Amino acid sequence: KAGVTQTPRYLIKTRGQQVTLSCSPISGHRSVSWYQQTPGQGLQFLFEYFSETQRNKGNFPGRFSGRQFSNSRSEMNVSTLELGDSALYLCASSPDGNEQFFGPGTRLTVL
Amino acid sequence: QKEVEQDPGPLSVPEGAIVSLNCTYSNSAFQYFMWYRQYSRKGPELLMYTYSSGNKEDGRFTAQVDKSSKYISLFIRDSQPSDSATYLCAMRRGSARQLTFGSGTQLTVLP
């Protein structure tokens, strides 16, 4: 089975812009979770979607949003980018939200 | 205080050594415990997934959970240079899907 794919792999944006990241889960997996990884804060949970519904949300501002499509693919959006949003954004795929398998991540740099 | 504490290392061992990696946690609601391995510039790779207290073995890896002490461990036998990576512990509550991660331990296995 193909693993989790994330696009793009690298992204450079400037403050104030918005960005959309994409995640394609493992075939048959219906749960997609997003995490932010930074050197200072480590891995932090953003949100989880299951069958197009957001089931859980982490402690991030409303500038961070996401959605899931009927084919389980997911996107996350960050509006009004700040320097502190520079991070590795990881998508995790799961059949049901239990065992979670991560993609390679999208490295976002905000200048 | 963080919910999950993990010694960041770095930890350096000779090839063939037994490696012990540990995490402690404060929230007794955590019921599921995982270990991930993350190579530089890659996404985390799920190594072990456990629920109950006790040991679980998979090849050279053994995961140990002691819920009474709120302590989990990962043992790597016959360590190889290819095991050099950052090891992350993760855990979640029974009903929630979000993972809470430790800060990661950087391991180097010297040839």
A77-87: pLDDT as tens digits: 999 999 999 99
pLDDT band at A88 (very low <50, low <70, confident <90, very high): very high
Q: What's the average model confidence in pLDDT over B1-5?
A: 90
Residue of B32, B50, B97 to mutate for A, most A C-beta atoms under 10 A: B97
Q: How far apart are the first and last CA of chain B?
A: 37
pLDDT at B66 over 80: yes
Nearest chain B residue to A41, by CA? B103
**B90-111 residue pLDDT tens:** 999 987 889 999 999 999 999 9
- Give percent above pLDDT 70 in chain B: 100
Separation CA B43–CA B39 (nearest Å): 7
Q: Mean pLDDT over all residues of chain B? A: 94
Instruction: Please report the pLDDT score of residue A97 as a whole number.
Output: 75
CA distances from B28 to A24, A59, A93, B64, B102 (A): 34, 21, 26, 16, 16
pLDDT at A96 over 90: no
Task: Answer whether B98 sits within 8 Å of A56, measured CB to CB.
Answer: yes
**B20-48 residue pLDDT tens:** 999 999 999 999 999 999 999 899 999 99
Instruction: Please report the pLDDT score of residue A75 as a whole number.
Output: 98
pLDDT band at A98 (very low <50, low <70, confident <90, very high): confident
Residues of chain A contacting residue B105, judged by C-beta atoms under 8 Å apart: none
Retrieve residue A108's tokens.
């976002």
Instruction: Please report the pLDDT score of residue B42 as a whole number.
Output: 92
- Give percent above pLDDT 90 in chain B: 86
Task: Tell me the longest C-alpha to C-alpha distance in chain B.
Answer: 43
Q: Where are the beta strands (DSSP E) in B2-104?
A: 4-6, 11-14, 19-25, 30-38, 45-50, 54-58, 61-66, 71-76, 85-93, 100-101
**A17-68 residue pLDDT tens:** 999 999 999 999 999 999 999 998 999 999 999 999 999 999 999 999 999 9
Instruction: Please report the pLDDT score of residue A103 as a whole number.
Output: 97
Residues of chain B contacting residue A94, judged by C-beta atoms under 8 Å apart: 97
pLDDT at B7 over 90: no
pLDDT at A72 over 80: yes
3-class secondary structure, A97 = coil
> Taking the CA of residue B7 as centre, how many other CA atoms within 13 Å lie in the half-sphere pointing to its CB?
11
